[in-house]
Amino acid sequence: MSEGSGGEKTEQPTPKKLQDAAKKGQIARSKDLGTAFVLIGSAAALLIFGKMLALSVLTIGQRMLRLDQKDIFETNSMFSAWGEVGRELAWPMAGIFFFILLAAFIGNTLLGGFNFSWEAAGPKASKMSPLKGFKRMFGLQALVELGKSILKVAVVIGVAYLLLNVFFMDIMALSLMSEPNNIESALYFLGWLFLGLCASISIIALVDAPYQKWNHVKQLKMSLQEIKDEHKNSEGSPETKGRIRRTQMQMSMKRMMQQVPTADVIVTNPTHYAVALKYDQGKFRAPAVVAKGVDEVAMHIRKIANEHKIPVLESPALARSIYYTTKLDHPIPEQLFAAVAQVLAYVYQLKMYRKGKGSRPKNLAKELPIPEDFRH
């Protein structure tokens, strides 16, 4: 087999290949994207809850630096003070932690979606192999990570220098401000500086996320032979499908033959076609086909009918018409009501005659009222 036709992995991974890889924990993930979301979420939380946090810190500082006679002689004053600290910090810290957790979840599931795999969490001997570890340290992926790290440092230093130049005079002016404005302003500047530095990381993430997606698909690419093998394994080999179809047909044929003894009449061609009709007023408004077949199947239907003394009538046109227009266990079409009614009336009169309750019926008409578009 040539390499281009089967060995070379040139085809996009199939949905099954992607699903199997996800079960093993192999999905596209960008650590830089998750880190950028966490940092930006932290900065946004600091900007939103910074003033509340600053006021809480100020209140805590005033409480801790204030000492009165009650605090000196009260043995539980330290514990009560810590309780006040917890109450002051509860709401701002809860808001900040919520933003960070939400940003972490979004950042780590934005690329590849939410996925958990026990197989990926389990220990693997390959991860402890020194040889494979050496390959990871000096492989292409390691070079890419080294390049990203150098780029991160350069971008962060550049953005930090730019932000310090922009806010330098405002930061220096903090020493001239009185509390609590100086604390609020300090946290405000800190939040914006932090947000600017975090936003610089997002530049790396915007490059890394598409690369990780492309690299993930590249690692899962398949050869034409792999696609054929997957299709064969999922759909089953032609031999297996053939055996299944034969088994299904045999089971269906057996069920159909079991219905023949319940029929009211068998209409034949007389040799090539046979259909078994049953009129169950509680189930259908018209006679239904409980069995039908051609050649050997038709012969078997007639044999079972003779064994159970089911009337067998020859009407070639009607037999072919019912065979081609009516499915198993379905009532006959309305256009054939008149023809089938004559057949059932003849069968009923014949049964009465055999019981000695009536005269012998006239032979069934050779030409039954069958519409032209129902003749086959």
Same domain, 156 and 286: no
Same domain, 30 and 97: yes
Instruction: Give, to the nearest 10 degrees, the angle between helix 31-65 and helix 77-109.
Output: 170
* pLDDT per residue as tens digits for the range 147-190: 777 887 888 888 888 888 877 787 777 677 666 666 667 777 77
Answer whether the bond into residue 180 is a cis peptide, omega within 30°: yes
Same domain, 175 and 76: yes
Same domain, 125 and 27: yes
pLDDT on residue 2: 43
* pLDDT per residue as tens digits for the range 296-335: 888 888 888 888 888 888 888 888 888 888 888 888 888 8
Same domain, 217 and 266: no
Same domain, 82 and 205: yes
Q: Is the pLDDT of residue 122 over 60?
A: no
Arithmetic mean of pLDDT over the chain? 77
Nearest to 258 by CA among 311, 304, 297: 304
309: domain CATH number?
3.40.1690.10
Cβ–Cβ < 8 Å for 244, 236: yes
Percent of the chain with pLDDT over 70: 78
Same domain, 269 and 314: yes
pLDDT on residue 167: 76
Number of domains in the chain: 2
- Give the residue-averaged pLDDT of 215-222: 81
pLDDT on residue 73: 64
Q: Is the pLDDT of residue 1 over 60?
A: no
Residue 249 in any domain: the answer is: no
Q: Is the pLDDT of residue 192 over 80?
A: no
Same domain, 22 and 135: yes
pLDDT on residue 116: 64
Same domain, 213 and 271: no
- Whole domain around residue 360: which residue ranges? 258-374
Residue 39 in any domain: the answer is: yes
Q: Report the alpha-carbon distance of residue 368 to residue 50 in Å, rounded.
A: 94
pTM: 0.44
Q: Dihedrals φ, ψ of 278, to 5°?
A: -140, 135
Same domain, 211 and 277: no
What band does 4 get if pLDDT is binned at 50, 70 and 90?
very low
Residue 240 in any domain: the answer is: no
Full strand arrangement of the beta sheet holding 312-314? 288-294, 273-278, 265-268, 312-314
Same domain, 83 and 187: yes
Q: Is the pLDDT of residue 19 over 70?
A: yes
* Alpha helices by DSSP H, the chain: 15-23, 31-65, 69-73, 77-109, 118-121, 130-138, 140-172, 181-219, 224-235, 238-259, 296-307, 316-325, 337-354
Same domain, 35 and 176: yes
Residue 55 in any domain: the answer is: yes
Least confident span in 97-101, 172-176, 341-345, 371-375:
172-176
- Of 202, 221, 240, the residue that ends a domain is 221
Least confident span in 5-9, 80-84, 212-216:
5-9
Buried b (16+ CB within 10 A) or exposed e, 55-91: ebbebbeeeeeeeeeeeeeeeeeeeeeeeebeebbee
Residue 203 in any domain: the answer is: yes
Residue 227 in any domain: the answer is: no
- Of 221, 245, 266, the residue that ends a domain is 221
DSSP string for residues in 118-160: HHHHS--GGGG-HHHHHHHHHSHHHHHHHHHHHHHHHHHHHHH
